[in-house]
Amino acid sequence: MTVKTLKIDDIDVAIAAGSTILQAAQEASIPIPTLCHLEGLTPVAACRMCMVEIEGTSKLFPACVTEVGEGMVVSTNTPKLQGYRRMNVELLFAEGNHVCAICVANDNCELQDLAVEVGIDHSRFPYQFPKRSIDLSHPQFGIDHNRCILCTRCVRVCDEVEGAHVWDVAQRGSACHITSGMDQPWGEVSACTSCGKCVDACPTGAIFHKGETTGEKQRDREKLAFLMNAREHQQWTR
């Protein structure tokens, strides 16, 4: 196994070649904010929260998909990056209808956590107030598109872990949304096994268990982590 050595925020890190900058940072306990990334799923670099700077180029790189290189000098928390991250979160809030006070995921939401982390109390961008729908046709779960940030975790977990591929991304631009089956109500998609993995994977309150009210969303991330680890490393005990 070849090892690459690099510097992240002045800390020396050695890690197997082919690893990502995000993995290297995790190894060195350097936090990099992420949203679309979920351990065990194919990375798609959709959210751009994890952008980092690499010395010698003015381009920014998504840490979740950028491979480490020998001698790389990476910065994860410069004022420039802080500014972009803030803007990114503000744009997400302005794009959808995120009303934390009445959300099932209040206090248990990765988007909200990020907003707190980067210090946001409002968005400088005009709120779009898009007209989006809520689908409560599934007997156990619901999806509220108002809270969706299009991270595609649900799409990937359902396809890659459950193997049902209920979800996908439809349309484009501001009409872009998560769709189930052939644009059917979720409850009518015969492929859904009602496993609940998409509820566990969703970072916001967009997909939830029916019956949960404000601040009550439960997700079992450990179950997901266990399953993915089991598949990858054949470890069948928790």
Partner 1 sequence: MPISSLPSQLKSGSPPAGDSTVQDEHRHFKVLDVTMKRHRHQPDALIEVLHQAQAAFGYLELEVLAYVAKGLKLPLSKVYGVATFYHLFSLKPSGAHTCVVCLGTACHVKGASALITALENELGIKVGETTADNQVSLMTARCLGACGLAPAMVIDEVVSGKQCPDTALEQIRALSGK
Binding site for ligand SF4 (CB under 6 A): 148-154, 157-158, 162, 164, 166, 178, 192-198, 201-204, 206-207
Give least dist CB 128 to partner 1, A.
Answer: 19
Which amino acid makes up residue 38? Answer: L
Query: Checking DSSP bridges between strand 3-8 and strand 73-75, what pairing results, if any?
Result: parallel
Q: Which is nearer to ligand SF4, 52 or 202 (CB)?
A: 202
Q: Which does 47 bind (CB under 5 to 8 A by kind): partner 1, ligand FES, ligand SF4, none?
A: ligand FES
Alpha helices in 178-220 (DSSP H): 197-201
- Per-residue contact string for residues 24-43; x = within reach of ligand FES by CB under 6 A: ----------xxxx------
Could you tell me if residue 67 is left (phi over 0), alpha (psi between -120 and 50 degrees) or otherwise beta? beta
Give least dist CB 189 to partner 1, A.
Answer: 8
Give least dist CB 206 to ligand SF4, A.
Answer: 4
For position 49 contacting ligand FES by CB under 6 A, the verdict is yes
Query: Checking DSSP bridges between strand 60-62 and strand 3-8, what pairing results, if any?
Result: unpaired
Sign of CA pseudo-dihedral 223, 224, 227, 233: negative
Give least dist CB 137 to partner 1, A.
Answer: 14
Interface residue with ligand FES, options 64, 111, 148, 192 (CB under 6 A): 64
Q: Are 45 and 62 contacting, i.e. CB atoms less than 8 angstroms apart? A: yes
Q: Which is nearer to ligand SF4, 22 or 151 (CB)?
A: 151
Q: Which is nearer to ligand FES, 112 or 164 (CB)?
A: 112
Tell me whether residue 228 is exposed, middle or buried, using C-beta atoms within 10 angstroms of its C-beta: 0 to 12, 13 to 18, 19 or more.
middle
Tokens of 155: 């799409």
